[in-house]
Structure 1
């Protein structure tokens, strides 16, 4: 099939959504489909050549990439250009992460798949676009990243009549024979990978580092200005280290070097650039599956949406997101029970290989 994938991601960027669309396009193409991805080209270009974008995300160049220059306030022109470009390409499916693009594609009588990552309530222009899309016979499938999100949409929009699918985020497998770099010392190492904006749990990590001076804590990722703020707040915590941004193609190197990894989502999780949006009830964090792919011992917040993936004592240890003492006890337990670390990591990797690779996700979303 020919699949036109229209995102709303800036390519390249540090946002998780950009990783998602690049990885999904690679995975879809790896199943033998012809894929073209449309995205936003930042005004301040981060790379000089398209090939560098593929390398930065660690994906093969097995799909076409079209980036349209985007200026603030004229997003509608991107939608127009991307959908018309897709129509000229004559696809069998227009796969959209952008609701305006999905609506416009349906108006042009193109078969549409739409993938939702959060509710549209409170965003009147998005909600009206979605209602129009749902009424169109050209909407063929809705994809949701969590069961909670699917239940929300099907309850809020009982007029939905097309096929629906729950497809959590994913990751790429890590070769079992991969050998991590040698370690400088034998101290217990705890890691976090991801953004640092409100609700991601940096306050838990900082407090944990204070309570566990016998371990080293590393934070991989985050924007420079937020890192600077946290460095200032944590200047006296000598066992807390900020690695900063690394290209996504190198993230697994850091994860494999940790003895335990953290997913400390809070009950309110914000989104960079959108302070009104709380994704805590719907999120499917990329880091969860990257941790699982590495066979890591995971300590995660005990939230309903994360329990769709994690079971306490089976493939992770679950803690109340606001009770740092529970996190401390989990880290102490993992440090003293290497067999438990190994069991949790093996179970997490098994679950990942069975259900959560990008390849498995691509196969599921395109299945009839």
Structure 2
């Protein structure tokens, strides 16, 4: 089977979408599919991009990095997505000939391509949902200003135009797949969960009571709640792996709560170095704030990263997290917005050696079925199904 996968984040970049796209392409190739990955260039060669992620690609994976996503004018960088769209479409005229599917994980690129004749079926891998904006942002109105609301309404129109034109849709979670089926009953939707880089053996982790968070530092990720929980658990320490604009505010918040001496901020680190920092923790934590987005739409890739690093997980109790965390078996779930419950769960998983060992043993059992290779196999089966007439 031949599969072309496209994404609009540059390669490499600190964005989660870039590593997700590369990991999916590697998984497709390891599953035996001839794979082509097309992403914008980001001032680096393919070899330099792969070194950034610490990835050695399979021989049946080709990576093409056409036009960069921005125009450089002195100190100004002007985003120019259409430039990449046109370059990608041109590449598809040769690279997708004979392909079983073209998979796109950016809605606007899916719209652009759906308006053209393509040499293979077009599939959208959904990482967001726009059919009901009011519902989507309920409980998180503080996250959306006028500019973002206008963008959301624009994407709502794009989604309604594009979905009916597609051969199929890939959702990452059952909850999001069900949303898509409800809003677009005619769409062929398949749930294919996020993957992980399965190690040959479960890595060792720290024996010290240290929780670690790795990822974006946006407000809805709930790191303020983590600091409040640390204040209630003076025997715990934390490592925060990630950088960006929110970092200064988070450092100030940790200082305000009096926990700054027990919180280490690494700042941004290359993707290949994240695993090293995870190994310094005993438990991975994801303390998200309560809102519809975090309950139903988010795809917590970092939980997979924690598992791959051998870390049991403490996170919030939500439909999307219940799909990947087995309570008392791979981690613990705490109620949203409850620092005391979060502190108790982190302390218990850090300090209860029997529980910690049981969770690590279960994670080790699950790793092969959670791999990016297994994800590649599932995507391949879905593309095969799309080639057959729909039952009924």
TM-score bucket (shorter structure) = 0.7 to 0.9
Structure 2 residue 117 is matched with structure 1 residue 108: yes
- In 1: Cα distance, 2:364 partner to 2:317 partner: 20
Evaluate the alpha carbon distance shift between residue 187 and residue 150 of structure 1 in structure 2; reply closer, same or farther with a 3 A threshold. closer
Structure 2 residue 242 is matched with structure 1 residue 221: yes
Q: Which structure is richer in relative contact order (CA contacts within 8 A, separation 6 or more)?
A: 2
- In 2: Cα distance, 1:253 partner to 1:28 partner: 26
TM-score by length of 2: 0.81
The residue aligned with 2:214 is 193
* Residue of 251, 258, 265 corresponding to 1:242: 265
Are the aligned partners of 1:117 and 1:145 in contact in 2 as well (CA < 8 Å)?
A: yes
Are the aligned partners of 2:284 and 2:303 in contact in 1 as well (CA < 8 Å)?
A: no
Are the aligned partners of 1:79 and 1:100 in contact in 2 as well (CA < 8 Å)?
A: no
- In 2: Cα distance, 1:104 partner to 1:176 partner: 43
**Runs of 5+ in structure 1 lacking a partner?**
270-277
| Alignment length (residue pairs) | 346
TM-score by length of 1: 0.86
- Of stretches 32-41 and 16-25 in structure 1, the one that deviates more from structure 2 is 32-41
Matches within 5 A, 1:96-175: 96-106=104-114, 107-109=116-118, 110-121=120-131, 122=133, 123-136=152-165, 139-160=166-187, 162=188, 164-175=189-200
Evaluate the alpha carbon distance shift between residue 349 and residue 135 of structure 1 in structure 2; reply closer, same or farther with a 3 A threshold. same
The residue aligned with 1:274 is none
Structure 2 residue matching 1:29: 3-state secondary structure: helix
The residue aligned with 1:360 is 374
Are the aligned partners of 2:7 and 2:105 in contact in 1 as well (CA < 8 Å)?
A: yes
The residue aligned with 2:90 is 84
Higher helix fraction: Structure 1 or Structure 2?
Answer: 2
* Residue of 317, 320, 327 corresponding to 1:312: 327
Are the aligned partners of 1:145 and 1:282 in contact in 2 as well (CA < 8 Å)?
A: no
Deviation for aligned residue 1:322: 0.8
- In 1: Cα distance, 2:248 partner to 2:153 partner: 36
- In 1: Cα distance, 2:252 partner to 2:163 partner: 48
Are the aligned partners of 2:67 and 2:83 in contact in 1 as well (CA < 8 Å)?
A: no
